[in-house]
Structure 1
Amino acid sequence: MSTDYKFEGWCGLDPKAAEGNMVWQEYEPKPFSEDDVDIQISHCGICGSDIHSLRSGWGETPYPCVVGHEIVGKAVRVGKNVKHIKEGSRVGVGAQASSCLKPDCEACADGEENHCPNTVGTYCSKYPDGSKSYGGYANYNRTPSHFVLNIPESISSADAAPMLCGGITVYSPLKREGCGPGKKVGIVGLGGLGHFGVLFAKALGAEKVVVISRTSGKKADAEKMGADGFIATDEDKDWASTNANSLDLIVSTVSSPKLPLMGYLTLLRRKGVFIQVGAPEDALPQFNAFALIAKGCKIGGSLIGPPSEIQEMLELAAERKIKPWIQERPLDDANQAVVDMEDGKARYRYVLVNQKVAGKQ
């Protein structure tokens, strides 16, 4: 393919972009290096992070921005130094585009590039040369090859896209905290992240998977995904005491700052673990230290996952035939899709499809 293509995408120009006011326009990607890969985008998942960023919810966004970090498409230009990606391959990019990769960086040296202090996000970040990163609500993406992944043949592009952020965000803590046979796992929230939590907890062999939500409105869906139990916190005033000491691991995927955190900690068994992956724009509620001390429990957080773990997750998804619950939306309809996502209409992840190229890949 000729390299004279233009990079165009849905640009957020101010916080009103989150209200469906993105503008399609051309933008300048980072300068191409021989370590980079250019991707003709066919699919891009819509993540809650996109909306937070569009409205400057996590701090001031460097407008103009193109969000989207669940990118799948075809490699159309591959730098000479790149060995694991071939031109024409179907590839993907998640929420991280770069890290320092220096041998004296503890995170990178340990294979935990996602915790590198010099990380570059797939959008709204700056590379060391000062150029900006732009995401996947676009026709093309340029990313350093270390963070470009091969997509297993048996996974469709639409299914693979939301795994690259939504999937790995829950897979990583589940795997790290020992989800598997004999473990009883709770997933707080059944949205884009939470539904992946159920799917991957079951795929990893958890003995029991319980969804924890405010209401029972999604109970039937949770059961279809494989959940073994359901707790509706707004509908049962005794939910915490009734289910006390019943779970080994809880992964909270919700972004509300009004979490009944003390109740969640009550559900943990001795030496249980609570992991927060949802990122509220406000502070989490306080909790009583004895909720941790008495049972030797731990509370922590988790941030996406390194490329090696994302590839591992994709291989597991291919092997276990994991099928996310997605709804495809035309890339041209991105503004309305973002509004619908914010209104909670997705069941359970929207994926933007560039219909001009999707059928050709």
Structure 2
Amino acid sequence: MSTSLVPETCGTPRLRTRKWCTSADGNEAESAWVAAAEWIRPKVGHFRPVSLRPADETAFDAGVSHRAPVTMEGVQGVSLFELACALNMFGQRAESQVVAGRVLGEIVHDSLASLAQFRMIANSGVTGLPRTCYPYSEQGISALCALTDIVDSESLPGAVEDIRRLGAWLEARSTEAFRDAHLKNRIWVTSETAEELVVRLCTASTDDLRAEIMGSVVDVDFESTCRDVTQWDDVAHILFFEMSGFDPLVAERDVLREYEKCWGPVGDREELLRTVLMRSTREACRRLWYADKLPRTYLRRYAMESTDTFLDLAAWAAGRLDDVDHLARLLAYLRQAFEHQPHTVPYRRYPHIPALLP
């Protein structure tokens, strides 16, 4: 992705971003959503996609891709994931935890509301975008098999069979457009650092904080919207992943009860657990592969994250299901193996603060 400063017709310079997508389907999906952004924004309050910008006539780097890039509104600032990390650090002091948790809760609440509005629009057919099922089995097997140099070879075939069946089960229940709603895909447009933004937001009133979120946060990255996933895949991205403020591994914290207070009853907890197991297993395997094969790239990409979070989360979900014993044993093996390599894989350095939903 490249960003440039381009004069608009009024003479005021505006940022433009050129994005080369990883596939033709992804390119079509990205284009469809940014093209619809100007229509979408006035109609919904929480989902705020970046909008399309006309491409200029400059030549693009021919080595980047054989496809033309999507040219869109350029945004610079702090991702909500970076902001969540900074809030967690700020909230380690007892006197700051409540105010940091309040800001984090507002961010999570707005992100869930953004997801709900995205789904409403995706299901309305406004973008005219065809969707196919996300290949859970294929992606899960690929993630496990990438660790053949790391895991016990005798335990891998059984785990692969578990993940194949798990993926097929999820594919049969995939009905929602995939937003890829991780907090990394929402940007707080600002010139401040994450730490400066945290200090300011923690002193803001609730009304001012909500107004700033509505005016400053934008949604990016729509390549995945050509896929269908389970109803819980994107929710898990927001609620159950590191620094979001909801940690199901903490015994006294009933995450689902907190979710249900705002969003209604969870009708199918098995689907939620299976989705979390698949998603967190893939996230853990991806990071472990990078740590083993490309350690410098790993530290550059995942320096703010803790791989043990995903292993623990996968084990938590697997322990509540009856038919993934081989996968559960493989996860236990990985947890034990990498406990002895703290120099290679970052672990949680401090507890996560709880997010306080409004």
Normalising by structure 1, report the TM-score: 0.29
* Structure that is richer in strand per residue: 1
TM-score (norm 2): 0.29
Higher RCO (C-alpha under 8 Å, 6+ residues apart): 2
